[in-house]
Amino acid sequence: MKIGIIGMPQSGKSTLFRLLTNAQPSLGNKASIAVGKVPDPRIDRLSEIFQPRKTTYAVIDFVDLPGYGSGAGSKASEFFSAVRDVDALVLVTRAFESDTVPSANGIQPAADFNSIQQELLVADWSVLENRLERANKQRGKNPNIGPELEVLEKCKAVLEQDLPLRQLELDEEEEKLIRDFNFLTRKPLIVVINADEEQMRSGSYPQKEELEEELAQKGIPFLLISSQIEAEISELDPEDAALFMEELGISEPGIARLARAVYGYLGLISYFTVGEDEVRAWTIRAGDSARKAAGKIHSDIERGFIRAEVVSYEDFIEHGSMQKVKEKGLFRLEGKDYIVQDGDIISFRFNV
Ligand SMILES: Nc1nc2c(ncn2[C@@H]2O[C@H](COP(=O)(O)OP(=O)(O)OP(=O)(O)O)[C@@H](O)[C@H]2O)c(=O)[nH]1
Ligand SMILES: [Mg+2]
């Protein structure tokens, strides 16, 4: 899973990338990729209980993309091909005021959002036109082209209204037909409004109504985050960080919220394995079977799957030990078709 961070130049993309991944983005106009951990208080807790040698959180790959339209090197074609390559987008819009960080057209997050959205729509439109033209030429010669043309026409109707393709409902078959076109406005999108401390406290910022109305209308989730504050929090020791956050009225760093929002929005869930060696979160898709989930650990476990021994995180925490959980009959034996739930603690039985 690769998440691309996009936005206007100097909106705070690289700052966010650094916070999410602890990696340094490359300077200039090259895209950088790094792994970001998805903070999970459940893993913290399990780790406290089991005191394992190793604790492993779920991860997502983040890609810091050059600012759209920012000077030399970031040619539109390069920008778009980098964006095509990711599974979902985090779009950063600048709300923060600063005398030292220049802004081309003043602080106008709604206008910035709209102009990027517009660029993405235009890019999709040109892919669509190409495809339509090609498909139309093949009509009559290629009997399989009918269904594709139908979906493309549906896409066209949406783009003609200036709406993102995300808003188009397609069944699985239709989805397959257009998957390879990698439409940009069909990628899941989360907006981060990068605010300053003052704005975080007041909850208000320039063009707020306009932006939030637009996002609500299009069903795009958004988070108000101050990358500046997040950067400060990340440098404090845990106690001071907690005090600082309390003073700001936030219970958890925005970065943790963002990582989790992205994770959840992509339909990802975690199951856990626990033990003295390692407490670990494994990422699967909501709806995955026990057998498929086992394959995340090793293909041998998937192939030789016998059963899964499962207890939910909540049940485990409530009773405090595997022993108690077993006594209470909360330790379940599940077969290969069991649909794994978020937070299941699982031990797989298999033979090879
Ligand atoms: N005051 C203030 N400055 C910020 C904030 N977020 C980022 N900055 C500053 O704004 C400048 C640009 O931040 P970056 O994270 O590099 O922005 P970017 O979007 O990656 O910029 P480009 O890659 O050049 O498009 C840096 O000097 C940051 O320190 C913020 O919330 N408040
Ligand atoms: Mg940058």
Give domain limits for the chain.
2-104+188-264, 116-186, 287-350
Mean pLDDT score of the chain, rounded to an integer?
Answer: 91
pLDDT at site 105: 79
Mean pLDDT, range 198-225, rounded to an integer = 94
pLDDT at site 114: 95
Query: 94 has which bridge partners?
Result: 194
Q: Is any ligand 1 atom within 6 A of the Cβ of residue 11?
A: yes
Task: Name all contacts of 121-128 with Cβ < 8 Å and 24+ positions apart.
Answer: 121/159, 121/162, 121/164, 121/185, 123/80, 123/184, 124/155, 124/159, 124/165, 124/183, 124/184, 124/185, 124/186, 125/159, 127/181, 127/182, 127/183, 128/152, 128/155, 128/156, 128/159, 128/181, 128/183
pLDDT at site 276: 94
Mean pLDDT, range 75-89, rounded to an integer = 83
Q: Is the pLDDT of residue 349 over 90?
A: yes
pTM for the full predicted model? 0.88
Q: What single-letter amino acid sits at 208? A: K
Closest CA to 107 of 94, 120, 119: 94
Q: Is the pLDDT of residue 339 over 80?
A: yes
Q: Is the pLDDT of residue 72 over 50?
A: no
Closest CA to 339 of 274, 273, 271: 271
Q: Is the pLDDT of residue 138 over 70?
A: yes
Fold (topology level) of 2-104+188-264: Rossmann fold (3.40.50)
pLDDT at site 70: 53
Fold (topology level) of 116-186: DNA polymerase; domain 1 (1.10.150)
pLDDT at site 73: 47
**What percentage of the chain reaches a pLDDT higher than 70?**
97
Q: Is the pLDDT of residue 256 over 80?
A: yes
Q: Is any ligand 1 atom within 6 A of the Cβ of residue 196?
A: yes
Counting ligand 1 atoms within 8 A of each CB, the residue from 103, 223, 227 with the most, and so the one to mutate, is 227
CATH superfamily, with its number, for domain 287-350? Beta-grasp domain (3.10.20.30)
Same fold for the pair 2-104+188-264 and 116-186: no
Task: Give 126 Cα–ligand 2 centroid separation in angstroms.
Answer: 27
Residue 70, judged by CB atoms within 10 A of its CB (0-12, 13-18, 19+), counts as middle
Most confident range (mean pLDDT) of 3-17, 77-91, 335-349 is 335-349
Instruction: Quote the CA–CA distance of 68 and 285 in Å, as a whole number.
Output: 31
Tens of pLDDT, residue by residue over 159-189, are 999 999 999 999 999 999 999 999 999 999 9
Q: Is any ligand 1 atom within 6 A of the Cβ of residue 226?
A: yes
Q: Is any ligand 1 atom within 6 A of the Cβ of residue 227?
A: yes
